[in-house]
Amino acid sequence: MVQTDISQLSRECGDWRDTLRSLRDQLIGCQSQLQTFASRSLSKEQLTAVEHFHNQFHIQLINIHDLKQAVKAHERRMKFETTAHEGQLTEETVGDHESLFGQYEHLTSSLKDLTQEFTDFTHRSK
């Protein structure tokens, strides 16, 4: 068993979920922009880019959903363990928290890159 600041870990999970919700909303906004953009007459290169962004937005929305669900399950596990083990978490759960943080960092970085790429594309194509 590992003695950790469980309230801090719970706050981190809540912050991750809030950020993921915000990123999901941002991506949905990008999808809407993409649909508006796609309604115009486009070159072959632009059509290819539209397809690329459409696919990436879909995939990343799934990734956001999956990570949010994993964080929720992790929070439930932490709550169970603190009740069952007198306020302590197993090393595995602490390791899972660190792994989820790595996944969160990777996904948020990928989403930042994707939205910047999309912004650049829309500005070039005006």
How far is the C-alpha of 126 from the C-alpha of 123, rounded, in Å? Answer: 6
pLDDT digits (tens, 9 = 90+) for 4-27: 788 899 999 999 999 999 999 999
Residues 2, 126: Cα–Cα separation, whole Å: 56
Segment 70-87 mean pLDDT: 93
| 86/70 Cα distance (integer angstroms) | 24
Measured distance CA(63)–CA(43) in Å, rounded: 30
What is the arithmetic mean of pLDDT over 82-91? 89
Domain ranges of the chain: 6-124
Q: Which residue has the tokens 């996944």?
A: 103
pLDDT score of 126 more than 80: no
The reported pLDDT for the residue numbered 86 is 84
